[in-house]
Amino acid sequence: MSEDQDDAVSGIAALNDPRRRALYRFVAAQDHAVSRDQAAAALGVSRAVAADHLDRLAAGGLLDVEFRRLGGRQGPGAGRPSKLYRRAAHDIAVSLPARQYDLAADLLAAAVTVAAERKTPVEVAVDQVARDRGATMGHAARQRAGHRAGGVALVRAAADVLADHGYEPRVRDREIVLANCPFHRLAADHTDLVCGMNHSLLCGMAGALPETTLAARLEPTPGWCCVRLDVDRPLKEEQP
């Protein structure tokens, strides 16, 4: 599980308490930031109890915090700013195993835009957009491995980047197999489009790491991602 997934799980776990869930629903329903006193009054609890639950929700990334003086008073004697809470602007979602439907949507939307602008077939645009994004993944692997890293170190870094994207890589002697498909539901319904996009994505990553001679190939296998990565040098086998 990646660090982002850990954070998301922690955030959702903050809603395990029924009173905290009720408080989150109250804050989310308001069109303004909520003070501790307002939250306490809405739930019929003490200000201290409301403050504890609000801060737990904020620590879990479910609420954003701001400080502002209430009542319009300014300057000396206006008192300390109140701590206010509103629903967090970002999304929190957990999928186990990890899925990357946001990434798929972003790639496909970008491809439609490119196809319309350049008057090219959508499948050609999908291939190019996915390869470009894959190259970004390859550059991330290079940065993680360090500029002086050799081929094997780069392969390991590439596996780490794949893990960050939910692929659950298994490094074997001369290949990386992927135990999870981040686009599973989409691939089941639109196999050619999504598996082709996935292949282009990983080809782009491999192409950004020429020292590794990684090669992405389509090999659909039940229970595994449809793409595997061949490596031109032996790598120590790691058991799942």
Cis amide bond preceding 97, omega within 30? yes
Q: Is residue 221, in this structure, part of any structural domain at all? A: yes
Q: Are residues 135 and 218 in the same domain?
A: yes
Distance from chain centroid for Cα 215: 25
Q: What is the pLDDT of residues 133-165, one digit of tens each?
A: 999 999 999 999 987 888 888 999 999 999 999
Tokens of 158: 């590439």
Q: Are residues 83 and 169 in the same domain?
A: no
Q: Is residue 173, in this structure, part of any structural domain at all? A: yes
Q: Are residues 200 and 142 in the same domain?
A: yes
Per-residue pLDDT of the chain in tens (240 residues, 90 and over written 9): 556 666 666 667 778 899 999 999 999 999 999 999 999 999 999 999 999 999 999 998 899 999 988 765 555 555 678 999 999 987 766 666 788 999 999 999 999 999 999 999 999 999 999 999 999 999 999 999 987 888 888 999 999 999 999 999 998 878 999 999 999 999 999 999 999 999 999 999 999 998 878 999 999 998 899 999 999 866 654 433
Q: Are residues 83 and 202 in the same domain?
A: no
Q: Minimal CA–CA distance to 123: which of 134, 115, 131?
A: 115
Q: Are residues 140 and 225 in the same domain?
A: yes
Q: Are residues 56 and 11 in the same domain?
A: yes
Q: Are residues 114 and 217 in the same domain?
A: yes
Q: Are residues 117 and 214 in the same domain?
A: yes
Q: Is residue 235, in this structure, part of any structural domain at all? A: no
Q: Are residues 190 and 134 in the same domain?
A: yes
* Boundary of a domain, candidates 87, 117, 139: 87
pLDDT of residue 32: 92
**Alpha helices per DSSP H over the chain:** 3-13, 18-29, 36-43, 47-59, 101-118, 122-145, 151-164, 184-189, 191-207
Q: What is the pLDDT of residues 228-237, one digit of tens each?
A: 999 986 665 4
Which residue range(s) make up the domain with 121? 101-230
Q: Are residues 46 and 165 in the same domain?
A: no
Q: Are residues 148 and 205 in the same domain?
A: yes
List strands edge to edge, sheet with 34-35.
Answer: 34-35, 82-87, 63-68
pLDDT of residue 68: 87
DSSP state of 216: E
CATH number of 131's domain:
3.30.1380
CATH number of 36's domain:
1.10.10.10
Q: How many domains does the chain have?
A: 2
Q: Are residues 83 and 105 in the same domain?
A: no
